[in-house]
């Protein structure tokens, strides 16, 4: 947005310890205006829209980690689903000419049983998060049709970068592989290695969502690479890039299995290609390398005692985090991938 000459406002949720490391990493923290807002408080969202008086709103806010949605299904619904209705109502009352983008998710497809998923594929959500995203997706469509609002959605498949949170399996892998290669860690604990996803590079996907709001008419678009790989492939590739055998370091922990998982996702973004000539450019191997190289670079800087905005040292050891859907004595269930 900044590169395109926009005056950018960003909302943030007030916490006891502010965390803007991603904005600092991108060197944009001092270039945008921040507005404190809460998705559960319609008044604060009304204030945000009134203060910024925007031409475009990109709603990327959600409780975005699928695993936590099983832990906190009610909160996830309020934040990811019903908050979108509040935001749409705010726009309808205060700024009906504003263009609105809703971040929908490939998780909405669930286990659809199809070889690829496009805008017409049936939705079969398999998590509280996916159901919440589907609610928001349909509400955006309803407001578009009912009130002639410019309200579009992007059904984005997994999009990754070095800024991805450590709770997500992609960054969890590259961060751990970087530590292991430097002798800072001995093992990588994972759940379902056979889950297959369509992984793309986040910066390219952000270009796509901007293009979605520049169209003459609001619509829904799938954004994906059209190529899928398993979690196992992701881990094996990351370890191979540092000359290590993944089987020597990967351990399976039942705590990281979801109560209900999506087995396979593969997006068909032909509509985006035909409408505004968007196509993913970064290959799967290049994506893994980009993420791994950045984690390697930062762990080396960390070892050297350098300071910089970063999330990794702040995260708790995930082996100490108890999840209610799995046995508290989860360490008893840990076994090597070989034995599995």
DSSP for 163-195, written as a single string: TS-TTSHHHHHHHHHHHHHTTS---EEES-TT-
Give me the chain's average pLDDT, please.
92
Q: Report if residue 4 sits inside a domain.
A: no
| 2 domain residue, yes or no | no
Q: What percent of the chain has pLDDT over 70?
A: 92
Region 263-271 average pLDDT: 97
Checking if the pLDDT of 65 tops 70, the result is: no
Measured from the Cβ of residue 310, the count of other Cβ atoms closer than 10 Å reads: 18
62 — pLDDT class (breaks 50, 70, 90): confident
Looking at residue 252, its pLDDT comes to 95
Examine residue 3 and state whether it is found in any structural domain, yes or no. Answer: no
Task: Say what the pLDDT of residue 329 is.
Answer: 45
Residue 32, in any domain of the structure = yes
pLDDT of amino acid 37: 93
Domain assignment of residue 222, given as a range: 9-336
pLDDT digits (tens, 9 = 90+) for 8-25: 999 998 888 888 999 999
Rounded-to-integer distance, Cα 80 and Cα 65, Å: 11
Query: How confident is the model over 268-279, as a mean pLDDT?
Result: 98
pLDDT, tens digit (0-9, with 9 covering 90-100), for 129-140: 999 999 999 999
CATH of the domain at 71: 3.40.50.720
> pLDDT tens across 181-214, in order?
999 999 999 999 999 999 999 999 999 999 999 9
Mean pLDDT of 132-160: 98
Average pLDDT value for residue range 276-299: 98
Report if residue 144 sits inside a domain. Answer: yes
Count, residues in the chain: 340
Does the structure show a pLDDT above 60 at 338? no
Residue with tokens 């309020």: 78
Query: What's the CA angle centered on 186, arms 180 and 189, to 5 degrees?
Result: 95
In a domain, 1, yes or no: no
Catalytic residues: 105, 107, 129
pLDDT recorded at residue 326: 54
Q: Output the CA torsion sign for 205, 87, 2, 12.
A: negative
pLDDT above 80 (res 66): no
- Tell me, yes or no, whether 106 lies in a domain: yes
Contact between 297 and 288 under an 8 Å Cβ cutoff? The reply is: no
What is the predicted pLDDT for the residue at 340? 45
Number of structural domains the chain divides into: 1
Which of 146, 194, 144, 151 shows the shortest CA–CA distance to 169? Answer: 194
pLDDT at 184: 97
Which of 70-74, 147-151, 274-278, 327-331 has the weakest average pLDDT?
A: 327-331
Per-residue model confidence (pLDDT) at position 258: 80
129 within some domain: yes
């Amino acid at each position: 947005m900044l590169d395109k000459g926009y005056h950018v406002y960003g909302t943030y949720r007030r916490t006891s310890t502010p965390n803007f490391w991603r904005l600092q990493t991108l060197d944009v923290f001092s270039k945008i205006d921040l507005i404190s807002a809460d998705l559960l408080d319609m008044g604060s969202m009304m204030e945000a829209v009134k203060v910024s008086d925007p031409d475009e709103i990109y709603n990327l806010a959600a409780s975005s980690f699928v695993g936590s949605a099983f832990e906190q299904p009610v909160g996830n619904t309020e934040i990811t689903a019903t908050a979108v209705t509040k935001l749409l109502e705010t726009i309808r009352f205060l700024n009906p000419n504003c263009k609105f983008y809703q971040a929908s998710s490939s998780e909405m497809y669930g286990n659809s049983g199809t070889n690829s998923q496009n805008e017409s594929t049936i939705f079969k959500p398999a998590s509280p998060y996916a159901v919440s995203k589907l609610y928001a997706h349909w509400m955006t469509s309803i407001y578009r049709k009912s009130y002639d609002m410019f309200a579009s959605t992007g059904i984005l498949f997994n999009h990754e970068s070095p800024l991805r949170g450590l709770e997500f399996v992609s960054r969890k892998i590259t961060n751990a592989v970087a530590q292991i290669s430097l002798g800072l860690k001995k093992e990588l604990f994972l759940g379902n290695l056979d889950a297959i996803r369509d992984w793309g590079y986040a910066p390219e996907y952000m270009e796509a969502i901007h293009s979605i709001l520049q169209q003459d008419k609001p619509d829904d678009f799938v954004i994906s690479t059209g190529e899928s790989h398993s979690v196992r492939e992701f881990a094996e590739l990351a370890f191979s890039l540092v000359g290590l055998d993944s089987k020597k370091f990967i351990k399976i922990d039942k705590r990281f299995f979801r109560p209900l998982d999506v087995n396979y996702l593969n997006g068909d973004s032909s509509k985006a290609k035909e409408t505004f000539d968007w196509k993913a450019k970064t290959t799967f191997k290049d994506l893994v390398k980009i993420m791994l190289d950045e984690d390697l670079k930062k762990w080396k800087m960390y070892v050297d005692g350098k300071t910089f905005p970063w999330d990794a040292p702040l995260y708790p050891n995930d082996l100490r985090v108890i999840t209610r859907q799995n046995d508290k004595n989860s360490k008893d269930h840990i076994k090597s991938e070989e034995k599995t």
